[in-house]
Amino acid sequence: MKKLIMLTLSASVLAACQSTPTDTAKTTTTNQQDQSTHVETQTAKPQPPVQQQVQLLNPELIAPLPVVEEITPQQEADLWQRIRRQLTMQIPENARIDAQRKFYLQHPTYMDRVAKRAAPFMHLIVEEIEKRNLPLELALLPIVESAFDPFAYSHGSASGIWQFIPGTARQYGLDINWWYDGRRDVYSATHAALDYLTALNERFDNWLHALAAYNSGGGRVNSAIRRNARAGKPTDFWSLDLPRETRAYVPKLLALADILSQQEKYQVSWLPIENEPYLQVVETGSQIDLALAAEKSGLELQQLHHYNSGYNRWATNPEGPHRLLLPLENAERLQQWLANAEQQDLVRWHRHKVKSGESLIVIAKQYHTTPHAIQQANNLTGHLIRAGDYLVVPAASRELDDYSLSADQRLTATQSQQQGSYKIDHTIQRGDTLWDLSRKYDVNLRQLAKWNGMAPTDPLRPGRKLVVWQGEEKTSGVTRNIHYQVRSGDSLARIASRFNVTIRDIEKWNQINRRNYLQPGQRLKLIVDVTRMTNDI
């Protein structure tokens, strides 16, 4: 009975809503004439059938709401979100993860710096990981390894964003030579790192074990697993007796993945990275001068070298790879120029007349190339050359100081950074070791290696110069104010090294900035200890 009354009331209300303007006018007129008639009229007005009202509410007559399709991870605008939506590793409650998570959350500016470094390279890394159907957590691994610094070099001789040591690098196809270090080549090293990680996961069938092995070696992880198994202990990663660094290594990655997957919970937002390709591979076909490539692509030389940090010198390796990574717009410009260029146009060639007593090694050092490159350019099968012969030699198109990210210039900059009150230049002799030198000069072994851009275990080459920083002056020097006239090819780093002072000192004495170009003939004020100046002034 209640249902019938409610249905009747609903029908009445709907009928009132359907009154036409004409009906309303008639009712108003009746009101003016006779109140009693008005009451009768309202009571007697016929109601539409209930069935008619039901038809008016027929769902088929209501327009459907628009369907909003969910975008795929690959369609996300922010690359971090593309990664976030594909994270799969379980994050356990663990004190080691908590400690690493706390560090990252308390240092947001660190993550900002990392995101800026990662921005040019992250898209190509994510694409390759997806192509191989690997966990997207691996895209975060260079943060743990190197903070996405392509020039990172560790105490264990590991280099590049993926921190390969020489032996493993060569095992996975990365060349290391005078011209080129594949560990710092982001493109090649990414492929090699994913090959290595895939092999480790196939070996252990466990990603946490594989990650631990990437850090400390497969043999060490395997030994730890077998040791626990023999003792009847669990063999999961958290139960293994591993080096301290490795015990923190995996938690760092898991902490990063947890923060990214729960940004709302932790109230953090990493600097967005556009989810679009940024760099493109350009095949050059042969050796190319990096300065020329920068000029033809419309890119600053230092920026080009940063994207292609595997190249140690002023040019790519004559033996290859013949490849550059460039932003899309710059890549297109270089490709257009390469389409019409001849191979000999890609480097500058110098015609050198062989002098008495010269060898290919001497000539190669003069032009900052290798004997093999000269042999190739001149179709020489041996090392025999004669005085009076002419050789074509590949040479840099700009002053070597302009190639500021080459190995030599980076070393000069590293050795010029002030680490004490004064520095000593030591020329390596046959039989020298870093350990012996650290004891001789009473300095820390790791510090000595760091001052010279080395690892403590790196071999020493006789004739190479090392810098040794001392905290206090141990001899009474003779200080003089001098005015030095800048020569062609000079740089602040070179002048600082020559006079045993620091770049910072030269800037302070002359109120200049290291980003300013020096002009030949420019005069610089220097305050030097004349007893410790080098002889090549």
Q: 407-529: same fold as 347-397?
A: yes
**Among 275-284, 295-304, 335-344, 516-525, whose mean pLDDT is lowest?**
516-525
For the stretch 210-238, pLDDT in tens is: 999 999 999 999 999 999 999 999 999 99
Q: Is the dihedral of CA 225, 228, 229, 235 positive or negative?
A: negative
Report which of residues 126 and 343 the model is more confident about: 126
> What local confidence, expressed as pLDDT, does residue 45 receive?
47
3-state DSSP call for residue 77? Answer: coil
Options 3.90.180.10, 3.30.465.10, 1.10.530.10, 3.40.50.300; which CATH number does 80-266 get?
1.10.530.10
What is the rounded CA–CA span in Å between residue 31 and residue 35? 5
pLDDT confidence band for 407 (50 / 70 / 90): confident
pTM equals: 0.69
At 40, which amino acid appears? E
In this structure, the dihedral spanned by the alpha carbons of residues 197, 202, 204 and 209, taken in order and rounded to 10 degrees, is 20
φ and ψ of 280, to 5 deg: -130, 140
What is the rounded CA–CA span in Å between residue 278 and residue 330? 11
Q: What is the DSSP string of 371-440?
A: HHHHHHHTT-SSS---TT-EEEEEE-SS-GGG-TTSHHHHHHHHHHS--SSEEEEEE--TT--HHHHHHH
What is the rounded CA–CA span in Å between residue 20 and residue 1? 31
What is the rounded CA–CA span in Å between residue 360 and residue 373? 10
Task: Mark whether 472 is an active-site residue.
Answer: no
Distances (CA, A) of 260 to 98, 134, 167, 274: 14, 18, 33, 16
Catalytic residue among 60, 70, 145, 283: 145
> What local confidence, expressed as pLDDT, does residue 1 receive?
43
Residue range 407-529, CATH number = 3.10.350.10
Q: What is the DSSP string of 228-292?
A: HHHTT---SGGGS---HHHHHHHHHHHHHHHHHHTHHHHT--PPP-BSS--EEEEE-SS--BHHH
> What local confidence, expressed as pLDDT, does residue 429 receive?
83
Domain ranges within the chain, ordered by starting residue:
2-57, 80-266, 279-344, 347-397, 407-529
Report which of residues 369 and 397 the model is more confident about: 369
Report which of residues 435 and 117 the model is more confident about: 117
Mean pLDDT of the 23-29 span: 41
For the stretch 408-430, pLDDT in tens is: 777 777 777 777 777 788 888 88
> What local confidence, expressed as pLDDT, does residue 533 receive?
54
User: Mean pLDDT for the chain?
Assistant: 83
Mean pLDDT of the 249-262 span: 98
For the stretch 339-384, pLDDT in tens is: 999 988 898 888 899 888 889 989 988 888 888 888 888 888 888 8
Long-range contacts of 67-70 (CB under 8 A, 24+ apart): none
For the stretch 72-111, pLDDT in tens is: 999 999 999 999 999 999 999 999 999 999 999 999 999 9
Report which of residues 278 and 393 the model is more confident about: 278
pLDDT confidence band for 315 (50 / 70 / 90): very high
- The architecture that CATH gives domain 347-397 is Roll (3.10)
Which has the closest alpha carbon to 349: 294, 410, 392?
392
Cβ 384 vs Cβ 436: under 8 Å:
no
